């Protein structure tokens, strides 16, 4: 599909992950949604992720709330139902734009992929500075 569409897939037969397609149709290129800092609505996200209220989560559960692509997808209730959906419409979106630009985008090598040989050190990890 073309840029701006979701590509949702199943890994290990049990975890959904979501990519955002970034290139023209028939050019395979996408960005994996790897993790996020949950902000709102915490109660709904907590129910999706752990099936209990946010106030009942342990510190370990809060720390590991959405720090991986499968955990993130579960918290956001992303399933195969969102596969191929456009992210350019109001039917399915991840956040509402509050500011025109992020405060500061950082770039680093990806983490925990030592097996990736020469790709382990590529600057393919992007995150917003805290």
Using the predicted structure, report yes or no on whether residue 50 has a pLDDT greater than 80.
Answer: yes
For the chain, give every domain's residue range. 6-94, 99-130
Task: Supply the pTM of this predicted model.
Answer: 0.78
Nearest to residue 71, comparing CAs of 35, 113, 107, 119? 35
Task: Encode pLDDT of 56-83 as tens digits.
Answer: 999 999 999 999 999 999 999 999 999 9
Closest CA to 20 of 110, 114, 95: 95
- Kindly report whether the peptide bond that precedes residue 41 is cis, defined as omega within 30 degrees of 0: yes
Tens digits of per-residue pLDDT, 89-109?
A: 877 766 555 665 667 888 998
Per-residue pLDDT, 91: 73
Banded model confidence at residue 20, pLDDT cuts 50, 70, 90: very high
Give the domain 6-94 fold. Answer: 3-methyladenine DNA Glycosylase; Chain A (3.10.300)
């Amino acid at each position: 599909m073309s840029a701006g569409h979701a590509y949702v897939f199943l890994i290990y037969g049990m975890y959904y992950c979501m990519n955002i397609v970034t290139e023209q149709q028939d050019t395979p290129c996408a960005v994996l949604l790897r993790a996020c800092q949950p902000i709102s609505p915490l109660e709904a996200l907590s129910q999706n992720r752990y099936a209990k209220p946010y106030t009942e989560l342990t510190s370990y559960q809060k720390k590991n709330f959405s720090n991986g692509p499968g955990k993130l997808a579960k918290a956001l209730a992303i399933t195969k139902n969102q596969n191929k959906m456009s992210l350019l419409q109001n039917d399915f979106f991840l956040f509402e734009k509050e500011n025109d630009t992020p405060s500061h985008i950082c770039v680093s090598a990806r983490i925990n992929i030592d097996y990736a040989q020469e790709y382990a050190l590529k600057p393919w990890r992007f995150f917003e500075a805290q």
